[in-house]
Structure 1
């Protein structure tokens, strides 16, 4: 096209922009839901997934069973795509494990003809910017395509997009074990002794814990599930000892009360109380960890307990202190984030873990998720920053709203189309049935995100 006086540069840029796809980072539940919602509105998506299959992050904690039943973990537009292919849904009230969620929902969804050709695997997004503009440039910014720099199995590439939805979750960026939030000073030397997130204590990771001195750090549901699994392991493997280190004066966040409205969570609390009552774990409360030091073939957690210098030696440490968003590749994007939880500024008060559980977070969309960077959104668990209150249903409503906004359906984008269960449908359960560790990524599934704890907890 020749640029003339009758074709302003902004107009030409706008035409170029709308011919480009919307790039979605992450092929987890929310990322695939975003793609399905966009397709229904005639908008071309391109999904970039770092793993080698859809739901790769979920597969890392696939042994976990969700509190959320099938009817609360699927997206409406995604289900419509699946049903067109003859998909058979699972029982709506059954509780899936992470592996089952991938096998029976995410894998078939990613394999539909509509999505299969629009997902690229083995692609790591390194940076997002505007094409030819750093964050300081303003003129023409809103109509300039996004530039996404990626590493595709060792090969560098650049992709241009009309909009970007970052649904990459937080599972790959766990919080450090120290109270300061900083990495241990001897990170490289102690790395092989620290396990973050959701280890499969009774399965894949059994050898790492059997017959070892294990310290679990964190006062949330992930930590509690790890403790319960470790007790089972200790009953089978002599020499396995368990210490539970928490910052607070008591583990009330996990233990909870007998009248908890979520039976699974109530049973988790009861099982945790039993651990303490039976002296199956050594509880070290009021422990503030300053550093992790190498001690021969072991490590020592050093800090203070009730103001007195304290050190706990361990062969392996389970770090259940939650997750945080990776924002390094977004330095050239104009984000407006809350100073505390690192969520979009308008969303942060709605998800403050000091005020809300996942069931009390109001549904929200483009207005609460918007940044000064037009056409860029954080969605799913990553949009919640460090808050542990994310629920998949809420993530699906987010991307439904974003899709309507991109389609020019501004009124629909601001209409709430979701009613959350009153108690919230959150977390996972290990106390009853098979070993399932609560996701704080997810619990913050990130659970890339997936379901989370309904009460605030450091492990989320």
Structure 2
């Protein structure tokens, strides 16, 4: 027997309007999007891969941000929290650590009833599409619900439908490769146990991994600088601990101190690294282009790693016990394969946003205010926001992401006046420039 779908076509649009907005990622930007949706009375479901909010930030929670509290709290989130009796942290100009950001702000926000009831933890998004459509089908596409496929912590696969999707999943879990080509270096599969993700907790949780060993930090950004400083401190207390900083260019512009930088904690970071290099606590190898890696078996906690490439046009090798990959991050676009995207060829940001954030031209503080219009893709109702919206550009600030989601949510609510009145005041941070692969210099 053949079953026919006799549902009137007019009900398709009606159904779309009743579905929730699906938010991917319960970090600061995803939670801010949820707060704005709450204020506008729009239903949503927030999908978080971890079992707690801001799970990625917790991984580098020991690291201090550059921005003080006044740049770190979303206005809509503040209003919801203060209505529930929350007291904001004292804004004394000091930048908090990632853990302080979570404990004092993001965790209480996620616990507010309007948000808590709509957050699904342990729900890793593995694909986004249109219900019953691959990316080649056009007829009726804008009126067709989105379909988001998730994998739960117990291995189950589920699919949810929504009227719109806001992807705020970030980039921390998808680092750039060590190779200067942007590809994994040849031999990478054999040394995964000797390469550490950016911003390890050198002085506490991961101390045993680095104590008494030679660590090479690869990368020219502030993620690298934070790790170098921690390793230098570790070397003062753990005999045999050595630290090398390896960069692909002749100098690391992004970690240079500047008197013009309104983010004082970032300027101090650059000064500290300069002193460590000048004093010999951190060895520096510049102009090193990595092409291959190989395992070294010399009996020290499982062996070491050899970086193979070129320096000043000549073949070069560099040996270490462990390597920290601080080469920056990139967006995970594999889950969006069936979504129609319009991405810039260079930084993989939305095409209208890319010229505003190009790290060869702009610093964190010179990015123009932008909202839903610059974030739009050919897929109506789909937005990438936050760090992931910047693609490979390292110039993102949380305040920028908060303004993004305020504008996007206003657009979803049909409030074009609010959506287009994009206003944003950023600190002057004119020291982020060139070499987009160096790691985030602003967050």
TM-score, length basis structure 2: 0.93
Contact 2:202 2:210 in 1 (8 A): yes
**345, 353, 361: which is aligned to 1:355?**
361
1:459 and 2:439 matched: yes
1:170 and 2:176 matched: no
How far is the alpha carbon of 1:364 from its aligned partner? Answer: 0.6
Contact 2:261 2:428 in 1 (8 A): no
Partner SS for 2:129: strand
Distance in 1 (alpha carbons) for counterparts of 2:253 and 2:38: 46
Partner SS for 1:359: helix
Distance in 1 (alpha carbons) for counterparts of 2:223 and 2:429: 19
Distance in 1 (alpha carbons) for counterparts of 2:254 and 2:140: 50
Contact 1:164 1:376 in 2 (8 A): yes
Q: Which residue in the other structure is 2:338 paired with?
A: 332
1:36 and 2:16 matched: no
After superposition, give the CA deviation of every residue in 1:129-175 in whole Å (9 maximum; x if it has no partner): 00000000000000000011111121110100000000000011000
Partner SS for 1:292: strand
1:374 and 2:383 matched: no
Q: Which moved more, 1:126-135 or 1:220-229?
A: 220-229
How far is the alpha carbon of 1:89 from its aligned partner? Answer: 1.0
Distance in 2 (alpha carbons) for counterparts of 1:459 and 1:237: 28
In structure 1, stretches of 5+ residues that fail to align are 425-452
Contact 2:215 2:322 in 1 (8 A): yes
Distance in 2 (alpha carbons) for counterparts of 1:214 and 1:26: 32
Q: Which residue in the other structure is 1:280 paired with?
A: 281
Distance in 2 (alpha carbons) for counterparts of 1:336 and 1:244: 37
Residues 106 and 262 from structure 1, CA distance in 2 versus in 1: closer, same or farther, beyond 3 angstroms? Answer: closer
Partner SS for 1:377: strand
Q: Which residue in the other structure is 1:207 paired with?
A: 208
Q: Which residue in the other structure is 2:300 paired with?
A: none
1:26 and 2:25 matched: yes
Of structures 1 and 2, the one with the larger relative CO (CA 8 A, separation 6+) is 1
After superposition, give the CA deviation of every residue in 1:56-96 in whole Å (9 maximum; x if it has no partner): 11000000111211121111111111112111111123421
1:108 and 2:108 matched: yes
Distance in 1 (alpha carbons) for counterparts of 2:55 and 2:334: 21
**369, 373, 388: which is aligned to 2:394?**
388
Distance in 1 (alpha carbons) for counterparts of 2:277 and 2:421: 47
Question: Number of matched residues?
Answer: 428
Distance in 2 (alpha carbons) for counterparts of 1:366 and 1:358: 19
How far is the alpha carbon of 1:454 from its aligned partner? Answer: 4.3
How far is the alpha carbon of 1:407 from its aligned partner? Answer: 0.6
Q: Which residue in the other structure is 1:401 paired with?
A: 407
Contact 1:389 1:456 in 2 (8 A): no
How far is the alpha carbon of 1:236 from its aligned partner? Answer: 0.7
How far is the alpha carbon of 1:368 from its aligned partner? Answer: 0.2
The RMSD of aligned alpha carbons is: 1.8
Q: Which residue in the other structure is 1:449 paired with?
A: none
After superposition, give the CA deviation of every residue in 1:197-254 in whole Å (9 maximum; x if it has no partner): 1111111111111110111111111112211111111111111111111111123432
Residues 192 and 340 from structure 1, CA distance in 2 versus in 1: closer, same or farther, beyond 3 angstroms? Answer: same
1:241 and 2:242 matched: yes
Partner SS for 1:177: coil
Q: Which residue in the other structure is 1:434 paired with?
A: none
TM-score, length basis structure 1: 0.90
